[in-house]
Structures are given as structure tokens and as C-alpha cells.
Amino acid sequence: MNLRSVDLNLLVFFNALMSERHVTRAADKVAISQPAMSNALARLRVVFKDELFVRTAKGMEPTPRALELAEQIQTILLQATRLMTSEIQFDPDTSDRLYSVRMSDLVGILILPGLMARLRTEAPGVSIDTVHLSPEQTIDALETDRLDLAVSMELQHTSAIRSETLFADRMACVVGKDHPLATGKLTLNRFLAYRHLRVSMSPTDIRFVDSVLAGKGLERQIALNVTHWLLVPQILQETDLVAVMSERAAQQIPGAGVVIRELPFHTQSFTWRVYWHRRYEHSAAHQWLRTQLQEVVKSRALAA
């Protein structure tokens, strides 16, 4: 295919259709008329030799080919946007940059409130898009330029990925305030006598708890697996389940509904780190955001 014969604006229109799943809303998003968007869809179908979007009772549903294209097109558009943005003249006061950051809800609790407060005064036009990916997906997204930064812990990566420490943390036992384990000596036998709540999206439970117990020939009784840390406090307050989570995050749980106890067995502490690709090592825009994260950590006494 001769690239000169293709209108690259079609990629923008495709991205809007993928986002909105509706021709009129997609047209509004990119400030063109509905007939123009319908025409763009027809041209996209010719270019990619596929229907791409099919009308259903729920709206315009993407075909398998469209889903295959979506991530690649989004990456191309992101790279084009960055190409047109001067890194040398980056000014947070006037920038309208969108940063894509990998961050779980657990570490988000610790960082995002302070980060957004700083952005409100120092960079009112800057916005953050957070995603939660597995460790393997995170590294792939950094290497393929689908992420600006990742905040995670102990990721295995190649020399193309850079990182720096944000703050130290450790795992702790957390129970409701009326739970029998809230008082008295917390022994290993007492810890294992109750059923547990585990966050299955995160590898931290397995690595810092289940693997340690398995090394002793022991295991927990898992009564409930959930995928989000923000579910944990309410569940603990209304059940007799036991959870193990980041001590830093547990300290942010509002009210006095839970009690934080030291684990009855040794487990290593760990560090939360910020990761980025070396292509942005000297990017003014990236350096600025990394500095903001470090400032948030200092202001919230997380580095102590």
C-alpha cells in the first residue's frame, strides 16, 4: 500500500469510533459532522478490508480485526502526539499533556490525592490516565511506548527500563476492629485459624505471604478472592475474614474500622518504585512528572 494515498486522519477517526462505539458521538468527539464520520468509516473499511464496526442493539461493536488494530493505532497516535510536542520547551503551566501511568488502586490511594492536588496548582492542564496491568503487561507497555510511567514493586525488566525508589513498605495483617485477632498475641496458629481475604490481581499476597507459608509447609484458608484493594476495608469491617496488605495503604483506611497487626512470621520489606523507558531518560516532561511523584512521597511522609 502506498502510504501517500492514505489519509492518516482516518486513524484519529478510528480511535474515536473505538472509544465511543457510536458514529454521532465519535463525530462530536473529533469535531466533524455525522455524515463525515460515516464517510470516514466507509473509507476505513476499504483501507483495512474489514467491516471494523457492526451495528447491534448495543451500538457499534468492533470486529476481531478492529480489536486487533485498536492498540496499534492508539500507540501510533500517542507517538505522533509526542512527536509534535516539544520536550525541550515543556512548561507545566501551559501543558495539556496526558500521561499514561500504570498504578494499582492500592498505591493509587497513597499517591494520587497528593499528585492531583499538586497538578491543580502547578499544571492545571495536565491530566493522568491510570491503568492496572500485570507485571508482564506493564513491561511490555513501557517498551512499546503505551505507558509513560509505572508505579509498582520489584518488576523484572531489561536494561531498557529505568527505575528509582519512591518509598519502602511491608505487608501487615489487617482485621476488623471487633475481630478476635484485633487483640492479644498474634501467633501463627491464630493467624491460620481464620479464613482469609486475598486480592488476586496482585502478586504481593502470593509472594510475601503464601510463598512464605508454603516454605513452612503451611497454607491459608482463602474464603474470598477479589480484584481490587478498595473492597478490602468494608469487607473486613463486616466479616471475620483476615487480610494481608501493604502497611502503608492500610494506614490510609479512614476511621477506626480496622486494626493493623504485625505478621506472625518473617517476610521481607519491599520498595515501591517508578519505572520508565530509557527513551525518556532526558525528557523534560517525564523528568517533571517523576519529580512530582517524589515530592508527593516527601509531603505525605511516605519516605520516612
How far is the C-alpha of 248 from the C-alpha of 303, rounded, in Å?
A: 11
Domains belonging to the chain, first-starting first, are 3-83 (1.10.10.10), 98-168+271-299 (3.40.190.10), 171-267 (3.40.190.10)
Q: What is the pLDDT of residue 85?
A: 60
How far is the C-alpha of 172 from the C-alpha of 265, rounded, in Å?
A: 10
| Segment 109-130, tens digit of pLDDT | 899 999 999 999 999 999 999 9
How far is the C-alpha of 30 from the C-alpha of 126, rounded, in Å?
A: 20
C-alpha cell, 59: 451500538
Q: What is the pLDDT of residue 296?
A: 94
Q: What is the pLDDT of residue 261?
A: 96
The better pLDDT of the pair 244, 146 is held by 244
CA distances from residue 188 to 50, 78, 171, 235 in whole angstroms, order as listed: 60, 50, 15, 22
Average pLDDT over the chain, rounded to an integer: 88
Q: What are phi and psi of 114, to 5 degrees?
A: -70, -40
Q: What is the pLDDT of residue 219?
A: 93
Q: What is the pLDDT of residue 56?
A: 85
Confidence band (pLDDT; 50, 70, 90) for 297?
Answer: very high
**pLDDT tops 80 at residue 86:** no
**pLDDT tops 70 at residue 87:** no
How far is the C-alpha of 13 from the C-alpha of 7, rounded, in Å?
A: 11
Q: pTM here?
A: 0.71
Q: What is the pLDDT of residue 175?
A: 96
How far is the C-alpha of 206 from the C-alpha of 23, rounded, in Å?
A: 45
Q: What is the pLDDT of residue 238?
A: 94
C-alpha cell, 48: 483495512
- Mean predicted confidence (pLDDT) in 95-102: 91
Confidence band (pLDDT; 50, 70, 90) for 83?
Answer: low
Cα–Cα–Cα angle for 162, 143, 279, nearest 5°? 55
**pLDDT tops 60 at residue 2:** no
Please name the residues in contact with 294: beta carbons below 8 A apart, sequence gap of 6 or more.
166
**pLDDT tops 80 at residue 135:** yes
Residue 142 contacts residue 161 (beta carbons within 8 Å): yes
CA distances from residue 1 to 4, 48, 120, 279 in whole angstroms, order as listed: 9, 11, 46, 30
- Mean predicted confidence (pLDDT) in 48-71: 89
Residue 69 contacts residue 47 (beta carbons within 8 Å): no
